[in-house]
Amino acid sequence: MTEAQQRLADVRAAIKDILEKGQSVRKDGRELRRADLDSLRALEAQYGRDVAAEQLARRGARNRIGYLRI
């Protein structure tokens, strides 16, 4: 797993935790506040683009533009 794929997996796990367990947790008078969901969604989109770019580079993506002669 590449670093970008790992970051994407970590962000998705954090989003899943927020959706399942809530934004903040209070226990024994202490409060744990998780990262903001909007910022995690932005990171997810960014890391998704990074992973896609890595995959294209690994496959040796070619330029598919064709030039016609007149």
Prediction pTM value? 0.74
Domain spans of the chain, in order of start: 3-59
- Kindly report, residue by residue over 7-65, the tens digit of the pLDDT: 999 999 999 999 998 988 888 999 989 889 999 999 999 999 999 999 988 887 666 66
Residue 66: predicted pLDDT = 66
Check whether 69 has a pLDDT greater than 80. Answer: no
Distance from the first to the final alpha carbon of the chain: 48
CATH 1.10.3470 fits 3-59, yes or no: no
In the chain, alpha helices (H): 3-21, 37-59
Q: Which two tokens stand for residue 43?
A: 């990171």
Q: Which two tokens stand for residue 8?
A: 């994407």
Phi, psi dihedral angles at 38 (to 5 degrees): -65, -40
